[in-house]
Amino acid sequence: MSASAAPVIAIDGPSASGKGAVAQRVARRLHFHYLDSGALYRLVGLAARLAQVNIDDERRVTTLAAALDAHFDDEDIYLDRQLVTDAIRSEEAGADASAVATLPGVRQALLLRQRAFRAAPGLVADGRDMGSVVFPDAAVKIYLTADAEERATRRYKQLIGKGMNASMAAIFQDIQARDDRDSRRAIAPLEKCSDAMFLDTTNLSIDDAVEQVVARYATATQAP
């Protein structure tokens, strides 16, 4: 099977909706590759901060994105050979990622890098525009979400679990701001594709959500 023919399950949705955890487990179940597209934008934001480049300077941030020295090793993420897995999961890194994601040059610079993750036997990709822009021919498209309060609670628990300082009120406000910014940006805004399955995880466990995605894929790929 050629890389371009490898099936893709595209899982899009807002911040802290659980799409990353669901996508990783679906990938393991199906023995597919996994793409965390948000990590790439977080890496670009971190690279800009480390280089003391203004996050709004599209030309310089795009140059950083095009030359990004990033490496993924299972759940470990490296930037310029330095382990940055925890650093890019901070709320600050998330805000930077959302900001650089509005820059057309950055999105174009990362497009081919994201598509390069597509390989046999298949790929599960999560992000904001996986189904609409990066993999419009995905075999299955999922729009995975949860209400803002539940998403804030999940992010708070995640950060506290990692030993990071966190404010529930601040996280809730940040999630609302990022939702607004991601849905309003001119290039590849966060939106549900017309052919995507809507999956609300507010009252679902990760395992329940995984089962629904796997079932959707099985149905979509059944021989006629």
Query: Which CATH number belongs to the domain containing residue 53 in this structure?
Result: 3.40.50.300
**Domain boundaries, position 200:** 7-211
Q: Are 11 and 142 in contact (CB under 8 A)?
A: yes
Residue 167 lies in a domain: yes
Domain count of the chain? 1
pTM of the model: 0.88
Residues 156-201 pLDDT 10s: 998 888 888 889 999 999 899 888 888 888 778 888 999 999 999 9
Residue 221 lies in a domain: no
Q: Are 81 and 43 in contact (CB under 8 A)?
A: no
Side chain identity at 156, as an amino acid letter?
A: Y
Looking at residue 2, its pLDDT comes to: 54
Residue 160 lies in a domain: yes
Bridge partners of residue 200, in order along the sequence: 145
